[in-house]
Amino acid sequence: MRLWAFISAVYWVSFVTYFILWRSYKHVSNLRAAARSTSGVKPQEFAMLVRDVPIPPPDQTIKDSVDSYFRALHPDTFYKAMVVTDITKADKIFQEIEGHKRKIAHAEAVYAESKTANRSEGTRPTHKTGFLGLIGKKVDTIEYCNEQIKDFLPKLEDERKSALSEKQQRAAFVFFNSRAAAASASQTLHAQMFDEWTVAEAPEPREVIWANLPRKIYDRHTRQTVVYLIVFVTVAFYMIPITAISAVTTLEKLREKLPFLKVVVDQPFVKTVLQAYLPQIALIVFLAVLPTLLVSLSKSEGIPSQSHVVRAASGKYFYFIVFNVFIGYAIGSSLFSALEKVIKNPPGIFMTLATRLPGNATFFFTFVALRCFVGYGLELSRLVPLIIFHLKRKYQCKTEEEVRAAWVPGNLRYNTRVPNDMLIVTIVLCYSVITPLILPFGVAYFALGWLIAKNQACMAS
C-alpha cells in the first residue's frame, strides 16, 4: 500500500514536471522567435562563421580563396567575406595610446584639483619614465603623454595595414544578403572532407573570442578532450590536493618557512583559530576560484563565443556541485554511517540506502532554506562590490569616467547562477516524494529568485 502511494506520487511529480518543461520550452521558443523577428538589423543574422579554411595556393591570399569559394557556392546570396586577422601588434600600440589618453585625463584632473586648493598656479603632475614610474627621467606627464601619442599614431597605421595584408588567419566571417540565406548556409556542410571549411552560426560581434577563431579542428578536439579530463579529475578528486595542502602547511611548518609570520602566529588566539580553520580556508579559496577556473578552461577549448564559454563552464560547474553536494552527501553520509552493515551483508545495500536516504532530507531541507534566505540576502545587499567600489573611489578614481567604470555592476554570472538553480531543482525534485515539505521551500526559492534576478538585471542595465 505504502509502495503504491509512493510510486503514484513519483509518476504524478514526473508528469507535472514534463508538462511544465513542455510549456516552458514553448514559451522560451516563442520568446526567441519574437527576439529574432524584430526588425532591427543585427550583423550576426546575416553572417556565418567559417573555420578551418584550407591553405590557399601560393598566388592567392586567404581572403581571395574564401571569396571565390563562397561566391561559387552561393552565387546569388553571397555578399562579402571578412577574414580574421591577427592584429596583436597593432592592438598593443592602440592599447598604449589609450593608456596614455587615460593618463592625460587623470593627470589633468589631479592638476585641476591642486590648482583650486592652494595656489592658482598648481603643480603640474610628473612621473618617471622607468620601471613602474620609480626610476628614470622625471617628465611632465601631460606633455610627455601627448608626445608619445603623436609618435605612436603613424606606427599604428603602418601596423594595421601590414596586418590586414600579411596576417590573415584561417578563419572568416561570410556575409549574405538575406537572413534566410545566412541561416541556411550556416547549417549546411560546405566541404567534402570533414576537416575543411567547417561552418557555424556567427556569434554577436561583441561576443567573439578572436583568439579561438583560427584554431584548427584537431586542435579544438584535442583541447576539448584534455579539458574534459582535467574537469573530471577536478570534480572527482578535488579533496585530495586540498587535504594534502592543509597537511603539509601546518602552522609549525609555516613558521619555519616564513619566519616573519612568527609575530602573528605565536599569539595563542590567532594560533587556535588558524590551526582549526586552515583546511576550511583552503577549501573556501578553492571554491571561490573554481568558477573562474572553469570559465578559463572552457575558453581554452576553442569555443568561438563568450556565451558558449559561459554555457560550457556552467555545465562543468553543475557536474561539480551535483557530484559533491547532491550525490556526495547523499551517498556518502548514508554509506559511511552504515558501512559496517553493508560489509556484513552486501546485497542489503538497497535496503540500507532505502532506510538511510530519507534521513538526508533534513540536510537538503536546510540547504534549500539557507540558499533561499541567506544566499539571496547576500546577493541583494551586494556587500562585496559596494566595499570594492568605495575603496576604488577613495583612492584610485579621479575622472568621471573612472568612477563610472568602477560602478559598473558586472554581468549576472550565469556560470554559477544557472548550475546553482539547477542543483536546487534536482534536490527538490528528488526529495519531493520522500519529504513533500521541501516543495514550498523550492517554490519560495524560485519565486524570490525571479524577483531578485529581475531587480539585479534592472539595476545592471
Contacting residues toward its own copies, per CB under 8 A: 26, 29-30, 33, 73, 76, 180, 183-185, 187-189, 192-193
Q: Which cell numbers in the block locate residue 401?
A: 569616467
- Least spacing, CB of residue 211 vs its own copies, in Å: 29
Closer residue to its own copies (CB): 30 or 366:
30
Element (H, E) at 201: strand 198-201
- Least spacing, CB of residue 380 vs its own copies, in Å: 36
Q: Which cell numbers in the block locate residue 369?
A: 532554506
- What is the rounded distance in angstroms from the CA atom of residue 122 to the CA atom of residue 110? 9
Closer residue to its own copies (CB): 267 or 345:
345
Closer residue to its own copies (CB): 181 or 427:
181
Half-sphere exposure of 387 (CA within 13 A, CB side): 3
- Least spacing, CB of residue 25 vs its own copies, in Å: 8
- Least spacing, CB of residue 189 vs its own copies, in Å: 7
- Least spacing, CB of residue 76 vs its own copies, in Å: 7
- Least spacing, CB of residue 364 vs its own copies, in Å: 32
Closer residue to its own copies (CB): 180 or 244:
180
Closer residue to its own copies (CB): 6 or 22:
22
Residue count (the chain): 461
Beta bridge partners of 51: 171, 198
- What is the rounded distance in angstroms from the CA atom of residue 335 to the CA atom of residue 106? 62
Closer residue to its own copies (CB): 73 or 444:
73
| Phi-psi label, residue 215: left if phi above 0, alpha if psi -120 to 50, beta otherwise | beta
- Least spacing, CB of residue 169 vs its own copies, in Å: 25
Closer residue to its own copies (CB): 123 or 225:
225
**Do the strands 47-51 and 138-140 form a parallel or antiparallel pair, or are they unpaired?**
unpaired
Closer residue to its own copies (CB): 185 or 312:
185
Closer residue to its own copies (CB): 184 or 224:
184
Distance of CA 231 to the CA centre of its chain: 15
Pick from 311, 308, 360, 367: which is nearest to 337 by CA? 360
Sequence-ordered list of residues with C-beta below 8 angstroms from that of 71, at least 6 positions apart, any chain: 78
59-66: long-range pairs with CB below 8 Å, 24+: 61/165, 61/168, 62/168, 62/169, 62/170, 62/172, 63/168, 63/172, 66/172, 66/174
- Least spacing, CB of residue 33 vs its own copies, in Å: 5
Residue type, 223: R
Helical ranges in 186-258 per DSSP H:
217-237, 239-248, 251-257
List the Cα angle 15/18/19 in 5-degree steps. 85
- Least spacing, CB of residue 192 vs its own copies, in Å: 5
DSSP string, 279-292: HHHHHHHHHHHHHH
